[in-house]
Structure 1
Amino acid sequence: MPDEIVTNLGRAADTTTVALKGEVDVLTVDQVRVALEESLAGRPREIVVDMSELTFIDSTGLGALIFGFQRARDAGIRFRLARPTRTVHQILLLSGLLEVVEVTL
């Protein structure tokens, strides 16, 4: 069984934070999808995906982030990625996701 990838699913004020750790790939992406769905169900004003402890993300993980972003946008919820590691930032850049989703360093 894969390690826990979602290390924190917390809510403060109108912001829900989903903190990710390790690698998001085909083995762990379901944890990310579930966390994003739970976050969306809470109808916060903002969802922040903390990537400060994320070392790798593959295409399935990028797909989960796109899913979360699109659902949040459709619901009028701000969605942003926060503090990606250098490696993950490069992957986000190459994927084109940085052109669509807000990122704070």
Structure 2
Amino acid sequence: MPDEFVTSLDRSGETATVALRGEVDVLTVDQVRAALSDALATRPREIVVDLSDLVFIDSTGLGALIFGFQRARDSGVRFRLSGATAPVKQILMLSGLLEVVELTP
């Protein structure tokens, strides 16, 4: 059984990093939306969503990432994903999300 789902927000300079750990699904998606909203509220130039400890994301989680991307874009804030594991990266690719959101190693 995976560890409990955890989000964390770290602000360093002009970048707000939201780290996701565990699984993002219908039970945890509200935490992701809240973390992304909190990150945007810090008025960064960039939001980075760290996926290196994320083991699973479903369609509701993808929707939360799109929500964050759209809110950031509307505020003139760069939004990118980083560190996706191979299984999570495959889900992101299949969803088409990587056609609009940058993924960095």
TM-score bucket (shorter structure): over 0.9
Native 8 Å contact 1:22 1:53 kept in 2: yes
Listed one character per residue, the Cα deviations across residues 27-73 of structure 1 (whole Å, up to 9, x for unaligned) are 01111000000011111000000000000000000000000000000
TM-score normalized by the length of structure 1: 0.95
How many residues align? The count is: 103
Counterpart code for 1:21: R
Indicate yes or no: 2:30 matched with 1:30.
Answer: yes
Unpaired segments of 5 or more residues in structure 1? Answer: none
In structure 2, the gaps of 5 or more residues are: none
Q: Find out whether 1:98 has 2:98 as its counterpart.
A: yes
State the SS of the aligned residue for 1:54: strand
Say if 2:56 is the partner of 1:56.
Answer: yes
- TM-score with structure 2 setting the length: 0.95
Q: Percent identity?
A: 70
Map of 2:42 onto structure 1: 42
The runs of at least 4 consecutive aligned structure 1 residues that moved more than 6 Å come to none
Q: CA shift at 1:5, angstroms?
A: 2.3
Once the two structures are superposed, the pairs formed by residues 50-89 of structure 1 within 5 Å of their partners are: 50-89=50-89
Would you say the 8 A contact 1:25–1:61 is kept in 2?
Answer: yes
Partners of 1:29 and 1:66 in 2: CA distance: 12
Aligned to 1:3: 4
